[in-house]
Amino acid sequence: MTAPDRTEVTEAEADAEATLYCTVHPTVATNLRCNRCGRPMCTRCAVKTPVGYRCRECVRSQQDKFFDAQMLDYLIAGAVSLVISFFAAGLLARLGWFLFAFFLSPAAGGLIGRVVWQLTGKRRGRYMGMVVGANVIVGALPFFMLNPLAIGIYLFMATGAAVAQFRLHL
Ligand SMILES: [Zn+2]
Ligand SMILES: [Zn+2]
């Protein structure tokens, strides 16, 4: 069997819904298509994923997205954590009674985690937890002298709750 001529393939495709050829291996006929980008692919190129068969390129780009958040995501995560933490810690420091810290801190941390998670398109970043944790702390520090006990509790509990959202599940 000879390799199909480019123009023959195009004509055949235009004719009827004729045989497809793998994008990577143009001589291999197939009826599989990547369910993300739609390109034809042979069984050697197809990768089985939980959402169906995909080409290697799409699988790789999905993995990149899964593991590495963009720089913008880190900036958003840092800014959101800093601002929410600043207001939460400011409120807590003024409430006076330090026991409020036990209720307010996990709630504030959880809120920060959820808001960052949504605003960054739920992308996973290796350093996302670190960025969020650091900014939760920095946002609360200006209020430390105002109410050291409450903010001390806050620093541990809010940071822990916010960072918990970004543990990598591999
Ligand atoms: Zn694809
Ligand atoms: Zn192939």
Q: Give distance in angstroms: CA of 67 to centre of ligand 2.
A: 26
pTM value surpassing 0.85: no
pLDDT value, residue 154: 97
Ligand at minimal distance from the CA of 53 is 1
% of the chain beyond a pLDDT of 70? 85
Model confidence band, residue 124 (pLDDT cutoffs 50, 70, 90): confident
Please report, in angstroms and rounded to a whole number, the separation of the first and last CA atoms in the chain: 45
Ligand at minimal distance from the CA of 57 is 1
Q: Give distance in angstroms: CA of 65 to centre of ligand 2.
A: 24
Ligand at minimal distance from the CA of 41 is 2
> For residue 160, what is the enclosing H or E element?
helix 148-164
* DSSP three-state, residue 52: strand
C-alpha–C-alpha distance, residues 13 and 27, integer Å: 15
Those residues whose beta carbon sits under 5 angstroms from the ion ligand 1 are: 34, 36-37, 55, 58
Q: Give distance in angstroms: CA of 47 to centre of ligand 1.
A: 10
54 in Cβ contact with 36 (< 8 Å): yes
What is the pLDDT averaged over residues 6-10?
Answer: 52
| 9 pLDDT above the threshold of 60 | no
Ligand at minimal distance from the CA of 34 is 1
Ligand at minimal distance from the CA of 45 is 2
| Side chain identity, residue 134 | A
pLDDT value, residue 61: 83
pLDDT in tens, 22-79: 999 999 999 999 999 999 999 999 999 888 999 999 988 877 766 668 889 999 999 9
pLDDT value, residue 170: 38
pLDDT value, residue 3: 52
Q: Give distance in angstroms: CA of 67 to centre of ligand 1.
A: 19
Written as six digits, the tokens of 41 are: 């692919």
